[in-house]
């Protein structure tokens, strides 16, 4: 599953974009509301994803479990989630609670 996403507001600018590296998880790259944590060897989804995130790319890692830790309640704008090419063995009940904006996974 490949996700490409570029959202702009009606004026053509990127609103509430993830700020530079300060808000970005250490092993990820953040730019224009996209958090790219692909190919970083992650074993779990980082907890400190910026709240303005619209696209979260977690592909090509070693994530085995999607926990019900409230992450998606903290990401109200998340529309695209890429968990492809991981080794997901378990998705806890309620893991995607709050993911009302999610359109593509």
pLDDT score, position 9: 37
pLDDT digits (tens, 9 = 90+) for 54-72: 999 999 999 999 999 999 9
- Report the b/e string of 67-78 with b at 16+ CB within 10 A: eeeebbeebeeb
In-domain check, residue 32: yes
Helices (H), the chain: none
**Domain residue limits at 28:** 16-105
In the prediction, which pLDDT does 1 show?
37
Whether residue 11 lies inside any domain: the answer is: no
Q: What is the pLDDT of residues 5-50, one digit of tens each?
A: 333 333 344 444 554 445 899 999 999 999 999 999 999 999 899 9
Predicted local confidence at residue 100, as pLDDT: 81
Overall domain count for the chain: 1
């Amino acid at each position: 599953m490949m996700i490409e996403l570029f959202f702009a507001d009606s004026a053509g600018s990127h609103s509430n974009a993830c700020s530079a590296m300060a808000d970005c998880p250490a092993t990820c790259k953040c730019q224009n509301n996209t958090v790219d944590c692909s190919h970083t060897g992650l074993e779990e989804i980082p907890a400190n994803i910026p709240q303005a995130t619209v696209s979260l790319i977690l592909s090509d890692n070693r994530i085995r479990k999607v926990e019900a830790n409230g992450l998606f309640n903290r990401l109200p704008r998340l529309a695209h989630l890429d968990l492809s090419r991981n080794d997901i063995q378990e998705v806890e009940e309620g893991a995607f609670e709050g993911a009302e904006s999610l359109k593509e996974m």
